[in-house]
A and B are shown apart, each in its own frame.
Chain A
Amino acid sequence: MLFNSVIFILFFLIVVAVHYLPINWKLKKLHLLLASYFFYAAWNPPFVILLWISTCVDWFAARGMNRVRSKLKRKLFLFISLTANLGMLSWFKYGTLFMETFASLVEPLGWVWVAPEFNITLPVGISFYTFQTLSYTIDIFLKRSEPEESFLDFALFVTFFPQLVAGPIVRPNQLIPQFKSPKRATANQFSWGVMLFIWGLFQKSVLADTILGPVAGHAFGLAEEMLVFDAWLATFAFSGQIFFDFAGYSLCAIGIAYCLGFSLPDNFKSPYAAIGFSDFWRRWHVSLSEWLRDYLYIPLGGNRKGNKRTKINLMLTMLLGGLWHGAAWRFLIWGAVHGFYLLLERTFFQRSKSHSELGFLPRLLGTLLTYLAISITWVFFATPTWESCGIAFRSLIGWTDSPIPVIKTIEITMILPVILAMLIGHWYMRDRKLVTVVQQLPNWILGILLFTILTVVVLTGGSDSAFIYFQF
């Protein structure tokens, strides 16, 4: 059930209606849990079983871990949790990739092995809820928190539908405490939640799907040598598409949760206004960056074991972060390039001035260079094959024989203002919060803006595009 579908609106209206009935809190939570299972089953009913497995394994593993004193036994419970969760993730997400890679590796040795065709379907959002539930067991293993007493609250934490399939990846201590007391939004909060949802829908349906996505998809999917101008424009279009697609989804999720009285953390903080790559990762998909930092980078030793080890830890974290995004070696390369960027930054700019001390021009230059470098890495995401990836990179530097224009002039006139507005918007919002900016707007301007966005969303409609991050 996509957020940008009519049936989701109907589903949500029913959920809201029941949530605000005068019934006790436990029943309301049970209703939210069942609604979340229904929401997930709407795509493919059998995959709800995976959610149940994840929930039950981690519930019992955490309690077992807390009951025993022996470190070995605690490790055994952690092992069970990791094996169950990462096992499911590996099979469904990486099974085909691993088998095909194995087949291609043994072929030169004279062993012809054909990977069996399982036609594996990727359960929507498995990477998100796997990481979310893993954070629970790891926290308990590391004695950062105690096991949850209520199975209902824990199951709801794993399954909470607004952020179930594409984040934000929420930590137990961010969400479970919110289930402890009755939650309801005030009329003002509810309206703000609806506005966030509408703004998210606009980003997804209009900017990502209608203006930027088709152009980037066509230019990179065509796998033809492009004019340098077209190649760069397609790259910028994809940078906008992936941002609006994912940030739009996150905003929808935040808005929906807020309508029900729950607060989810921000997942994007004007990432294209980042100055440098570590700044970028503090702003892009924040919940994943923080997860990788807290559950991978720091346990590997973080920056506490010397310069060399820090660099290795950084690279390993980014490689795994890359592979988390998709079952293709291109994503690993994407992670490697980001790891390389971070190493460069650490080597050459570690002791430079803080961002606030920089003048306007250095900050602007730093932002634009960062955006440019990040945009180039998106080519690994945007191209469907290695061949098209190579062609895209060659087109970007003009190393082509007979390049052709692949973007219509009318599309150019729409993409350029959108990209420019996105960059200016990120720059303006860099150190501001949306709520503060809206607070300062006159009511009539807010009303006109809201009406315009709503109208454009409704009249544009008609797309059945899934969110890009669903595949991750």
Chain B
Amino acid sequence: MIKVHSYESMGTYDGPGLRLVVFLQGCNFRCLYCANPDTIALQGGTLTDPEEIVRMALSQKAFFGKKGGITFSGGEPTLQAKELIPLFKRLKAEGIHICLDSNGSVWNQDVEELLQLTDLVLLDIKQFNSQRHQELTKHSNSQTIKTAAWLEEHNKPFWLRYVLVPGYSDFEEDIMMLGEQLTNYKMIQRIEILPYHTLGVHKYEIMGQEYQLKNIKENTPEQIEKAAGLFKRFFNCVYVN
């Protein structure tokens, strides 16, 4: 059984084309800006038969067109890698394109097998600077960088996603360092800058938790433009989501 938080059947922002996005329950990061705090707890979610997810994907396969498919997001989906492996195999057998939206921090044999079964990885690098990454997510980024290298080495196409949080992840030197390290990666098909937003703040109120970034304002167009400019020095395909 798989712990599912929720579904978005018309995903247009999590991988190419129209996608069924399955948000899984549970995360190992504690990102200060998290817009889905209700997906963090390892307990909870709806225990779901993988066949139900296959059924839903098949039911909407007609909408996927040439580019679309299914995306597993979260939470951190690789926490359930073992349970996902047979599901990914079923989906592949049905000819469904699979994206995996991951922070890249979990590594074990199951994750490795899962990545092998994935068509396109959406790799979230929250910060390249390890210390600032730690502050932002309460977790190290060393495995994430290694995961990027693994994807490159194993010819696994991936999109690099970067949440742009003012004062936390928009430092020029950090973005430059990231670019210098990864600029030669041939498997990076796209860079997606995800501007910081506060659409998840109300969830903290409902959950009775304090939102940590109360004083952080959304990016100005200039901030976004600047970050995009920095990435464009190193990569061809830079998009602002």
Do A and B pair up? The answer is: no
Q: Which B residues form the contact surface with A (CB < 8 A)?
A: none
Q: Which A residues form the contact surface with B (CB < 8 A)?
A: none
